[in-house]
Amino acid sequence: MCRNSIKVLEHEGSEFFSHDSKATILHNFYTHLLGTVTPASWPFSLNSIYPMLAVTDGPLSAPFTREEIHHALFGMNLQSSPGPDGFGRFSTVPSGLW
Protein backbone atom coordinates (compact mmCIF):
# COMPACT_ATOMS: atom_id res chain seq x y z
CA MET A 1 0.00 0.00 0.00
CA CYS A 2 1.33 3.42 -0.95
CA ARG A 3 1.22 6.10 1.72
CA ASN A 4 1.93 9.76 1.22
CA SER A 5 4.24 10.89 3.97
CA ILE A 6 6.82 13.54 4.65
CA LYS A 7 9.94 11.74 5.82
CA VAL A 8 11.97 14.85 6.61
CA LEU A 9 11.46 18.60 6.82
CA GLU A 10 14.29 21.08 6.49
CA HIS A 11 13.70 24.25 8.46
CA GLU A 12 16.25 27.04 8.95
CA GLY A 13 19.10 24.75 7.96
CA SER A 14 18.16 21.83 10.24
CA GLU A 15 16.48 18.55 9.34
CA PHE A 16 13.53 17.28 11.38
CA PHE A 17 12.43 13.64 11.31
CA SER A 18 10.03 13.21 14.25
CA HIS A 19 6.30 13.55 13.70
CA ASP A 20 5.91 16.11 16.52
CA SER A 21 8.64 18.42 15.22
CA LYS A 22 7.30 18.24 11.64
CA ALA A 23 3.77 18.90 12.89
CA THR A 24 4.95 21.94 14.87
CA ILE A 25 6.86 23.38 11.90
CA LEU A 26 3.90 22.91 9.54
CA HIS A 27 1.40 24.26 12.07
CA ASN A 28 3.49 27.39 12.65
CA PHE A 29 4.00 27.91 8.92
CA TYR A 30 0.31 27.69 8.03
CA THR A 31 -0.81 29.64 11.09
CA HIS A 32 1.47 32.47 10.00
CA LEU A 33 0.43 32.14 6.35
CA LEU A 34 -3.33 31.73 6.75
CA GLY A 35 -4.02 33.06 10.22
CA THR A 36 -2.69 36.56 9.71
CA VAL A 37 -5.18 39.16 8.60
CA THR A 38 -3.65 41.98 6.63
CA PRO A 39 -5.81 45.07 6.30
CA ALA A 40 -6.39 46.22 2.73
CA SER A 41 -4.46 49.28 1.73
CA TRP A 42 -4.46 50.99 -1.61
CA PRO A 43 -1.15 52.72 -2.43
CA PHE A 44 -2.84 54.84 -5.07
CA SER A 45 -5.69 57.24 -5.48
CA LEU A 46 -8.50 56.61 -7.94
CA ASN A 47 -8.31 60.28 -8.89
CA SER A 48 -4.73 59.78 -10.11
CA ILE A 49 -5.80 56.85 -12.30
CA TYR A 50 -8.96 58.49 -13.61
CA PRO A 51 -8.35 62.23 -13.27
CA MET A 52 -11.29 63.14 -15.50
CA LEU A 53 -13.80 61.54 -13.10
CA ALA A 54 -14.85 63.21 -9.89
CA VAL A 55 -14.80 60.00 -7.81
CA THR A 56 -13.85 59.71 -4.17
CA ASP A 57 -12.05 56.60 -2.97
CA GLY A 58 -14.27 56.09 0.07
CA PRO A 59 -17.35 54.38 -1.38
CA LEU A 60 -15.35 52.17 -3.74
CA SER A 61 -12.93 50.88 -1.14
CA ALA A 62 -15.35 50.68 1.82
CA PRO A 63 -16.14 47.23 3.28
CA PHE A 64 -19.30 45.52 2.05
CA THR A 65 -22.33 45.81 4.28
CA ARG A 66 -24.44 42.81 5.25
CA GLU A 67 -27.33 44.32 3.25
CA GLU A 68 -25.19 44.61 0.09
CA ILE A 69 -24.10 40.97 0.41
CA HIS A 70 -27.71 39.90 0.91
CA HIS A 71 -28.86 41.81 -2.19
CA ALA A 72 -26.01 40.42 -4.29
CA LEU A 73 -26.65 36.79 -3.32
CA PHE A 74 -30.42 36.87 -3.48
CA GLY A 75 -30.42 38.87 -6.69
CA MET A 76 -28.91 35.87 -8.48
CA ASN A 77 -31.19 33.77 -10.68
CA LEU A 78 -31.91 30.35 -9.12
CA GLN A 79 -32.37 28.80 -12.56
CA SER A 80 -29.15 30.11 -14.14
CA SER A 81 -26.18 27.94 -14.97
CA PRO A 82 -23.08 28.07 -12.77
CA GLY A 83 -20.59 30.87 -13.24
CA PRO A 84 -16.86 30.54 -14.04
CA ASP A 85 -16.18 29.30 -10.51
CA GLY A 86 -18.62 26.42 -10.99
CA PHE A 87 -21.08 27.65 -8.39
CA GLY A 88 -24.52 29.06 -8.98
CA ARG A 89 -26.79 30.83 -6.51
CA PHE A 90 -28.37 27.56 -5.34
CA SER A 91 -25.00 26.11 -4.30
CA THR A 92 -23.81 29.43 -2.84
CA VAL A 93 -26.58 30.12 -0.34
CA PRO A 94 -28.35 27.19 1.31
CA SER A 95 -32.07 27.74 1.73
CA GLY A 96 -33.02 29.17 5.12
CA LEU A 97 -29.52 30.39 5.93
CA TRP A 98 -30.47 34.06 5.77
CA distance 66 to 74: 12
6/25 same-domain check? yes
31/50 same-domain check? no
In a domain? residue 98: no
Residue 82, pLDDT score:
76
Contact criterion met (CB below 8 Å) for 7 and 17: yes
pTM above 0.85, yes or no: no
Q: What is the mean pLDDT of residues 41-46?
A: 80
In a domain? residue 60: yes
Residue 61, pLDDT score:
74
Q: How many domains does the chain have?
A: 2
In a domain? residue 64: yes
Residue 86, pLDDT score:
74
> Side-chain half-sphere of 24: how many Cα atoms within 13 Å?
7
Read off the pLDDT of residues 70-81 as tens digits, 9 standing for 90 and up: 888 778 777 777
52/81 same-domain check? yes
Range of the domain at 52: 46-92
Residue 2, pLDDT score:
64
CA distance 49 to 76: 31
86/56 same-domain check? yes
